[in-house]
Amino acid sequence: MASTVIELTESKKHIQRIGQIFTAQRTAFRKNPMPSLTERLENLKRLKRTLLVNQDRLLDAIYQDFSCRSRDETLIAEIMPSVQGINYVTKHLAGWMKPSNRHVSVLFQPASNQVHYQPKGVVGIIVPWNYPLFLAVGPLVAALAAGNRAMIKMSEFTPHTSALFRELMADTFPEDLVSVVLGEADVAANFTNRPFDHLLFTGSTSVGRLVMKAASENLTPVTLELGGKSPAIISSDVPMADAAQRLAFGKAFNVGQTCVAPDYVLCPADRLQSFVDEFRSQLSTMYPTIRDNDDYTAIINERQYQRLQGYLDDAREKGARLIEINPAGENLSDGTRKLPVTLVLDTTPEMKLMQDEIFGPILPVLTYDSLDEAIHYINERPRPLALYYFGYDKGLQKKVIEQTHSGGMCINDALMHVAQDDLPFGGVGDSGMGHYHGKEGFLTFSHHRSIFAKQRFNSGKAVYAPHGTAIHKLVYRLFIR
């Protein structure tokens, strides 16, 4: 009973703090609604310095939250892209901030049309647990570059990382510029109910719907980075070693706890055994052991581990063939939360792993007889966040690009489109809406203000009342034809 009271008290404190910070940030924004380029660059520079100075602490915190998270993976997937993203934005920000000139019809000359990019105000960012640093820093960089203030709700499932990030941001920025909020589901619900000027959420589709519903009460625009079942198509002639190696990397990286991880494979029926053999070989080379191998990440918590075990049990009971890739034959059932990558063959639509986003090291492999059949299978389902195609024939690549929809796509690789600073990242349909990264991030967090400026000479008088034959001649002869 005492612990429950303490938890309720802590939640109440977090919720009160959200209101106080929001008011402070909105007040500060009104005092400085258009930060200069110098101010924005200085904020980005401070953020980068904090990440570089504290990278070892961040590596340790993320490792603790997962109980085992490859430090090299964290460097590659969280710290490096965060720093590189700052570098890219810093290099291009001056150009992005300039007003863009637009065409003016002769009817309105002499005049000018411009689009000015104004900060929106106070931005809310909701961060998931799978990449707690990168998915906090990436949106924050875009928000600061666009001149906004930001409130960040970290995940309760990464307590060490969340607490450290809150500490670091408090040491780096004043609270009325950047602030980090902690707390569980009730705090998150209160957070989404605030009248932010923009709200970015990264997480599941089901929670994304709730976030959008809450934001709609305040007419808050949202960017939803969700997930879904991202397919990978293996062509009939791609060298199997190429496809299997890159898919093994994409699935085993962070043990599949990645929103764009390959969720299932579509393989030509006559190449199935070749794929299984090559995938097993490639993965065994990358991870010859699992149990005490710090390169092999653990499942984040027991709840997620049991969810994934449930998928395997359900598939097995319904007749699937499971191929567990455990090269050293280690016993992993004693609480390590290390789950071997498992291929699942002979799947059926009724299996849970064919209905839900897997978000773990389980990879169903389906077969097809023609590329049209594979494309049809994908198009019959909700639009995924990512799509992967392995094949070097340019004509077939073009066919897959033009006849499918997904948030993003990799050809002959996995995951790597997310790492491109100059490509927008985002979903479509059930996998999300809106984009960020690079220039698209700046644009997402900016209000595109249209400005029409008239010169002293007023040609517009020609359309003022009282109307006569002159206006008819002008309109019909010049503009309605």
Locate the domains of the chain by residue range: 2-226+434-448, 231-426
The number of residues in the chain equals: 481
For residue 370, give Cα distances in angstroms to 274, 367, 463. Answer: 17, 9, 62
Is the bond leading into 361 cis (omega within 30 degrees of zero)? no
- Catalytic-labelled residue, pool 68, 73, 78, 259: 259
- Whether this model's pTM surpasses 0.75: yes
The predicted pLDDT at position 470 comes to: 66
The predicted pLDDT at position 6 comes to: 47
The predicted pLDDT at position 455 comes to: 86
List, in order, residues 6 or more apart from 108 with CB less than 8 Å away: 452, 454, 459, 460
Strands (DSSP E) along 317-403, which ranges? 321-325, 341-345, 362-368, 386-390
184 is catalytic: no
In whole angstroms, give the CA distance from residue 50 to residue 141. 13
| Percentage of the residues of the chain whose pLDDT score is greater than 70 | 95
The predicted pLDDT at position 457 comes to: 82
Q: Tokens for 229?
A: 């079942």
With a cut of 70, list the residues of the chain below it in pLDDT: 1-9, 460, 462, 468-479
Are the C-beta atoms of residues 342 and 361 closer than 8 Å to each other? yes
Are the C-beta atoms of residues 409 and 431 closer than 8 Å to each other? no
Distance from the Cα of residue 377 to its chain's centroid: 25
Q: Tokens for 152?
A: 């960040």
Using CA atoms of 247, 252, 253, 259 in order, give the dihedral in degrees to the nearest 10. 80
Q: Which CATH number fits domain 2-226+434-448: 3.40.50.300, 3.30.2320.80, 3.40.605.10, 3.40.50.410?
A: 3.40.605.10
In whole angstroms, give the CA distance from residue 289 to residue 306. 22
Nearest CA to 382 out of 260, 164, 228, 178 is that of: 228
Are the C-beta atoms of residues 290 and 296 closer than 8 Å to each other? yes
Using CA atoms of 302, 308, 309, 313 in order, give the dihedral in degrees to the nearest 10. 160
Neighbours of 231 (CB within 10 A): 23
Q: Tokens for 204?
A: 């599941």
H/E stretch holding 302 reads helix 302-317
Q: What are the pLDDT digits (tens) for 447-457? A: 999 999 998 88
Cα angle value 47/75/359 (rounded, 5°): 105
Are the C-beta atoms of residues 314 and 352 closer than 8 Å to each other? yes
The predicted pLDDT at position 213 comes to: 96
The letter for the amino acid at 211 is V
Strand order in the sheet with 408-411: 321-325, 341-345, 362-368, 264-268, 231-234, 386-390, 408-411
Output the average pLDDT for the chain: 94
φ and ψ of 417, to 5 deg: -65, -25
Q: What are the pLDDT digits (tens) for 458-469? A: 776 767 777 766
410 is catalytic: no
The predicted pLDDT at position 474 comes to: 66
Nearest CA to 121 out of 146, 98, 141, 86 is that of: 146
- Catalytic-labelled residue, pool 225, 278, 357, 440: 225
- Sign of the torsion angle spanned by Cα atoms 12, 13, 14, 16: positive
The predicted pLDDT at position 473 comes to: 66
The predicted pLDDT at position 458 comes to: 78
The CATH number of the structural domain formed by 231-426 is 3.40.309.10
List, in order, residues 6 or more apart from 182 with CB less than 8 Å away: 14, 154, 156, 162, 163, 166
The reply to whether 2-226+434-448 and 231-426 are identical in fold is no
